[in-house]
Amino acid sequence: MLFILLGVMAGLIGGMGIGGGTILIPSLIFLTDLNQQTIQSINLISFVPVAIVALFVHFRKGNIVSKLSIPLIGSGILGTIIGSKLALKLSSVILRKWFGGFLLVIGLYEVFFKGTKKK
């Protein structure tokens, strides 16, 4: 039941565009004994259906700018290939620390800089 609730929470947050992995990855680290690569793989595979639904909803609302989307998709695929190969070469401990550092930086940005007007 706990994992179902976790999936619902990650899906809700992912559907809002925040990123369900911010909930799913730390939760799986604390609740399971899986290694970091496996946990991140679970996050990525669970992201696919959420992304498809979000894409459909945003497409219907006219929120997608095709001119920007094509280069982002291409570079995203390239980054995914490089990141996946790198993640498999790193130890779980290093990968976990990098992910924690990434979340810290994003959290600090959200607290101190998000919503401030650019001049």
> Who has greater pLDDT, 110 or 86?
86
The whole-angstrom separation of Cα 54 and Cα 48 is: 10
pTM over 0.75: no
**Residue 6 contacts by C-beta under 8 Å, 6 or more apart in sequence?**
23, 24, 27, 28, 31
pLDDT digits (tens, 9 = 90+) for 51-85: 888 889 889 999 989 899 889 999 999 998 998 89
Give the dihedral sign, CA 48/50/54/56: positive
Q: Where are the domains of the chain?
A: 2-112
